[in-house]
Amino acid sequence: MAIPLRGSWPQPMPIIIQWLQDKAGIKASAEVPENLRANLPAVIVSPAPGGTTADGFTRGRAVDIDIFAADWTSMDATIRKVETALSQLQGDGNRYGYVDSSTLTSFSEVSHSMPDVRRCTATITLANRPMTSSGTRSESSDSITKLK
């Protein structure tokens, strides 16, 4: 017998943007600022290819995290803050959704059009279940958890 689906899967980008603000004081964005050099370091999130559907109910959504920095010292410090904050996300959430589990790849350098600005990218995959409009996981989940 199929389990009825109630609610919809939360969008991962708002979860990550808010989480980085709350836990690391990082003002991440879904768009590259117009004057990137004046806003370094910058953390940009965007949809990534991939993801999973493990049991037909829990869905993994992939998001790229790009960090732009003026030098390696600033890049390293920002990477550490992002990794530390995101390592605490699984089993938690915010008003945008709850995350059952997450996986984060290592950051690696990516070439781009500004040679005097460093860019590193990693991909995080968030596994979550549908949320109801009341901000809880779907009643079909193992347990109903209110968001913070």
Tell me the C-alpha distance between 127 and 121, whole Å.
20
pTM of the model: 0.83
Q: For residue 118, is pLDDT > 50?
A: yes
| Nearest-10 Cα torsion for 60, 13, 98, 131 | -80
Q: For residue 148, is pLDDT > 60?
A: no
Q: 41 phi and psi, to 5 degrees?
A: -75, 150
Q: Can you read off the two tokens belonging to residue 47?
A: 């949809």
Q: What average pLDDT does range 86-110 have in this prediction?
A: 94
Q: What average pLDDT does range 108-137 have in this prediction?
A: 84
pLDDT at 112: 87
- Residue-wise pLDDT for 38-97, tens only, equals 999 999 999 998 877 766 678 889 999 999 999 999 999 999 999 999 999 999 999 999
pLDDT at 107: 98
Residue 58 neighbours by CB under 8 Å, 6+ apart:
100, 127, 128, 129
